[in-house]
């Protein structure tokens, strides 16, 4: 008899739901009637993401204490489950955003790759050893490389795909080599086993830790590992950019937190300083570079670098409060990112060209609902009241201050003040300029209707504002999730 490991199908259900949606989307693009292919593929991907969010919520509710599965390969805990809920809702909103955009010959492949990338991220956040960590990373990264270059008729999309492939491949190689060094120093690949090896003074171990941290910094767009971000965000299809800005950060930050806290507790005096420095550099670089941008996708790209700095502050705190603040921050940030890119996508479809400050002149008067939504997202990014961005930054600052990083809190406050210059500039252009020469001529004087995109924007506004009024339930869930880690 061959002993086979028992499989916890509920723990794998978020990834399996997305893989099922991807399979249906791919089959629909091959065997279904031509007129139904796009709708069926998009519906399957949407159902997969919603299913992943629902299954993640069920796992969260039914997993009071962490469990290690498949011979130490995966963790079933509330940390991974909450991340899977965020990923599922994010992906569902992105499918709505792309519903009208992706009606071409490769629509089925697009939605299949999007769902497969989501499945890889859902797997990645529960990785419990270096092998599954790398497997999950490559799983969703390969899908994103193709998605970025999906618009084959646009040279900018192909260029962005090539840049992302080269830089992302390099980042993955750095992480893999770092994992090899850690294995060489400890003889273990499991996160808990690496910590139990009690290797504290090995140069190989510290070099491996540095390389792993650098590889993950590529994925979260932390400066100075962000060099790919502006070009890729600008060149990729806007729906793909929105998915990368929110979902990739969620997956990479949760995996980074789990890895550092679980595998390297004895080296915390080193990696906390390194993460704090990365946070400071990201805050400074992201905000200063955003001031010089006129293309909105590039501006939002540098904004994402800045927000990576805020989230790195929570990781550097190395505490349960830091973990909870990170998870809370990811909720409004994901909604604001997807929503902001959705408004950009709406303007792109109207004007059929890249969206700059001049392109959004008068948007607040021409499209009142989109203008109000974009206003909400910009204020949320800046941390204004009535948006979850306010509490997100307060919780991160509190965790960093409790950990002794008062200087990092000061940098964060200054960075927030600097960010007002470009966030409020977006609002100024929407309402302070007439934009008469850019008005879209539509028969009957009505704007083109895109119900799916409008629904995505509405969901993002609800989450952005709702995370302010329902802060305590979200924070309680984030605290429970953070308690899964051995701080």
Q: State pLDDT tens for residues 349-367.
A: 888 888 999 888 888 888 8
What is the per-residue pLDDT for 444? 39
Are 371 and 432 a contacting pair, CB within 8 Å?
no
Bridge partners of 75, per DSSP, are 68
CA distance 457 to 463: 10
Burial class of residue 50 (count of CB atoms within 10 Å of its CB; 0-12, 13-18, 19+): middle
What is the per-residue pLDDT for 103? 64
What is the per-residue pLDDT for 30? 81
Of 25, 250, 288, 34, the residue nearest 121 (C-alpha): 250
CA 394-283-336 angle, to 5 degrees, is 60
What is the per-residue pLDDT for 240? 94
What is the per-residue pLDDT for 433? 64
Domain regions of the chain by residue span: 9-482
CA distance 286 to 282: 6
CA distance 400 to 415: 15
What is the per-residue pLDDT for 35? 67
What is the per-residue pLDDT for 34? 72
Mutual orientation of helices 249-263 and 296-317 as an angle, nearest 10°? 20
Buried b (16+ CB within 10 A) or exposed e, 358-375: ebbbbbbebbeebbebbb
Of 244, 274, 240, the residue nearest 260 (C-alpha): 274
What is the per-residue pLDDT for 1? 58
Which residue numbers in the chain have pLDDT < 50? 435, 437-438, 440-446
Are 335 and 467 a contacting pair, CB within 8 Å?
yes
Bridge partners of 69, per DSSP, are 74
Are 158 and 152 a contacting pair, CB within 8 Å?
yes
């Amino acid at each position: 008899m061959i002993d086979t490991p028992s499989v916890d199908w509920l723990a794998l259900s978020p990834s399996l739901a997305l893989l099922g949606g991807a399979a249906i989307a791919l089959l629909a693009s091959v065997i279904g009637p031509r007129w139904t292919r796009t709708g069926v593929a998009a519906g399957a991907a949407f159902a997969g993401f919603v299913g992943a969010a629902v299954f993640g919520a069920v796992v969260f509710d039914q997993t009071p204490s962490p469990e290690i599965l498949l011979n130490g390969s995966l963790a079933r805990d509330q940390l991974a489950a909450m991340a899977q809920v965020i990923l599922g809702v994010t992906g569902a909103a992105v499918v709505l955003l792309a519903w009208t955009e992706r009606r071409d010959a490769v629509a089925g492949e697009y939605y299949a790759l999007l769902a497969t990338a989501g499945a890889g991220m859902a797997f990645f956040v529960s990785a419990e050893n270096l092998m599954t960590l790398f497997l999950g990373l490559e799983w969703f990264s390969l899908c994103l490389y193709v998605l970025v270059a999906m618009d084959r008729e646009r040279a900018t999309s192909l260029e962005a795909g090539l840049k992302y492939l080269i830089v992302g491949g390099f980042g993955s190689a750095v992480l893999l080599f770092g994992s090899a060094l850690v294995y060489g120093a400890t003889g273990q690949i499991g996160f808990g086993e690496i910590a139990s090896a009690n290797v504290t003074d090995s140069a190989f171990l510290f070099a491996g830790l540095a390389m792993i941290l650098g590889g993950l910094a590529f994925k979260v767009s932390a400066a100075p590992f962000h060099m790919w971000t502006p070009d890729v965000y600008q060149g990729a299809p806007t729906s793909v950019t929105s998915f990368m800005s929110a979902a990739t950060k969620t997956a990479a930050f949760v995996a980074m937190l789990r890895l550092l806290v679980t595998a390297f507790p004895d080296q915390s005096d080193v990696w906390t300083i390194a993460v704090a420095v990365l946070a400071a550099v990201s805050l400074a670089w992201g905000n200063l570079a955003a001031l010089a941008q006129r293309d909105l996708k590039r501006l939002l790209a540098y904004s994402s670098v800045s927000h990576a700095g805020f989230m790195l502050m929570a990781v550097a705190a190395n505490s349960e409060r830091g973990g909870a603040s990170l998870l809370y921050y990811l909720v409004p940030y994901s909604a604001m990112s997807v929503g902001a890119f959705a408004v950009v996508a709406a303007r792109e479809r109207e004007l059929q060209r890249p969206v700059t400050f001049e392109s959004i002149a008068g948007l607040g008067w021409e499209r009142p609902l989109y203008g109000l939504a974009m206003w909400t997202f910009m204020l949320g990014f800046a941390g204004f009241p009535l948006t979850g961005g306010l509490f997100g930054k307060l919780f991160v600052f509190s965790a960093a201050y409790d950990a002794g990083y008062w200087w990092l809190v000061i940098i964060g406050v200054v960075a927030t003040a600097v960010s007002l210059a470009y966030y409020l500039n977006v609002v100024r252009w929407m309402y302070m300029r007439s934009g008469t020469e850019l008005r879209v001529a539509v028969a009957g004087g009505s704007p083109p209707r895109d119900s799916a995109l409008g629904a995505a924007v509405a969901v993002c506004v609800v989450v952005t504002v709702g995370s302010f009024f329902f802060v305590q339930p979200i924070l309680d869930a984030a605290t429970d999730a953070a308690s899964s880690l051995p701080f």
